[in-house]
Amino acid sequence: MSYVKGLKCRECGRIYPKEPLYVCEYCFGPLEVDYDYERIKKKLTRDEIVSRPKNLWRYRELLPIDNEPTDGLDSGFTPLIRAKNLQKLWGVKELYIKDDSVNHPTLSFKDRVVAVALSKAKEFGFTTVACASTGNLANSLAALGTAANLKKYIFIPADLELSKIVGTLIYNPVLVAVEGNYDAVNRLCSEIANKYKWAFVNINIRPYYAEGSKTYGFEIAEQLGWRVPKHIIVPCAGGSLITKIYKGIKEFKNIGLIDKIDTKIHAAQATGCAPIVNAIKENSDIIKPLKPKTIAKSLAIGNPADGIYAVATVKESAGFAEDVSDEEIIEAIKLLAQAEGIFTETAGGVTIGVTKKLIEKGRIPKDESIVVCITGNGLKTQEALAGKIGKPIRIKPTLVSFEENLTRRKKCL
């Protein structure tokens, strides 16, 4: 049963059929999935959703597939955690972490988009899938693509974190390390996609793939008891996630699952790669591309595909934007781990650091509800913490040695 009417150009509104197309032939605007919301409204009630298994497909009417979902059947529905210790530390009343660092199967929000992209690619009849990735997408496409028995070509910048390379290679895809930054990888991939007829999930499957990110927003609303928070802090790389989270909660409102939206959406980037945040701070609609230089490699996109829409989302919701330095990112990773027991990757350090900044600056009032997006797992970016978190206390296997060393340590403290 399909609720998708077709594709529609986001800029000029031209209509296209449900095919692996991603760009308007006339104005080059991005194509978006066009749903039949009237029919969805009749089918997708709160009771219906609650009766379904706890994965991202519980919202399948709002996802762009025609047949039953085939991939990522255990992805999504990650915990929404009340962050009581951070709440106390920051003096705020209601703070939550939406924790995709434990998403199945590869510990990042990318499992959501890949679940949708692969289900759709198979509907189109593709047998080879591909992507350009800063790491998390590579891990996810490699894992879910393997489970789906698809051939996989994965393109990454050559200087990626070791854990993200290992976490891709283990599934035995064709892994291509391109000598250049992500923007160079992405440009190359769009030329390869032009020539080889593969399902490039973030190029020709992009209109479908990107819809998977909405489920992150759907879950926040459902897990809060069918309401949305006053603030959501979202990490920005290509700018798609922030746009889709907002689209998701607006769809929930449109089909009557939540009553109102008074959510401010805030954009978070690393200072060394902040084209979206810069545009918002300068009150500009123009994204100035730049060469990234940050430890937050998963966010290191200097030329964000959905940058202008990310800016528009923040403006429309009356949100703010902030960036944090590499040092602040590391401090924030440690803060989240040591306050809440959640080990996030550098991108999570960005959202925690930015949230702290926005609260300190008074952009986020302390008595309002806040959800911080944690989209990836710290085990994947351990290099960033080298030399920053101390060392184990090394002892001999004797009680004497244990007590000597602990006493000595106490004296040091």
Partner 1 sequence: MSIKVRIPTPLQKLTQDKAEVDIDAGGIKDIREFIEKLGKDFPGIKERICDEAGKIRRFINIYVNEEDIRFLKLDKTPLKDGDSISIIPAIAGGGSTQPPSAVSLTIKGGR
H or E, element range at 80: strand 80-82
**In angstroms, what is the minimal distance from the CB of 150 to partner 1?**
21
**In angstroms, what is the minimal distance from the CB of 30 to partner 1?**
4
**In angstroms, what is the minimal distance from the CB of 19 to partner 1?**
12
CB 72 within 8 A of CB 145: no
Alpha-carbon distance 207 to 247, whole Å? 13
Alpha helices, DSSP H only, in 63-135?
84-90, 110-124
Buried b (16+ CB within 10 A) or exposed e, 185-202: bbeebbebbeeeebbbbb
Closest CA to 212 of 291, 301, 116: 116
What is the binding site for partner 1 (CB under 8 A)? Answer: 11, 22-30, 182-184, 186-187, 189-191, 193-195, 203, 206, 238, 275, 285-289, 291, 301-308
C-beta of 185 vs 370, nearer to partner 1? 185
CA angle 16, 19, 25 (to 5 degrees): 45
Q: Checking DSSP bridges between strand 151-157 and strand 321-324, what pairing results, if any?
A: unpaired
**In angstroms, what is the minimal distance from the CB of 106 to partner 1?**
23
**In angstroms, what is the minimal distance from the CB of 282 to partner 1?**
12
N-to-C CA span, the chain: 65
Alpha-carbon distance 298 to 106, whole Å? 14
C-beta of 10 vs 363, nearer to partner 1? 10
Task: Quote the distance between the C-alpha of residue 300 and its chain's center.
Answer: 13
Helix/strand/coil for 92: coil
Its sign, for the CA torsion 29, 249, 376, 71, is: negative
**In angstroms, what is the minimal distance from the CB of 110 to partner 1?**
17
**In angstroms, what is the minimal distance from the CB of 22 to partner 1?**
6
C-beta of 28 vs 402, nearer to partner 1? 28
Separation in Å, CA 378 to CA 149, 156, 203, 253, 330: 28, 19, 27, 34, 11
C-beta of 23 vs 165, nearer to partner 1? 23
**In angstroms, what is the minimal distance from the CB of 385 to partner 1?**
28
Closest CA to 249 of 231, 269, 235, 268: 231
Alpha-carbon distance 162 to 58, whole Å? 34
C-beta of 46 vs 291, nearer to partner 1? 291
C-beta of 34 vs 74, nearer to partner 1? 34
**In angstroms, what is the minimal distance from the CB of 32 to partner 1?**
11
C-beta of 204 vs 377, nearer to partner 1? 204
C-beta of 119 vs 134, nearer to partner 1? 134
C-beta of 138 vs 228, nearer to partner 1? 138
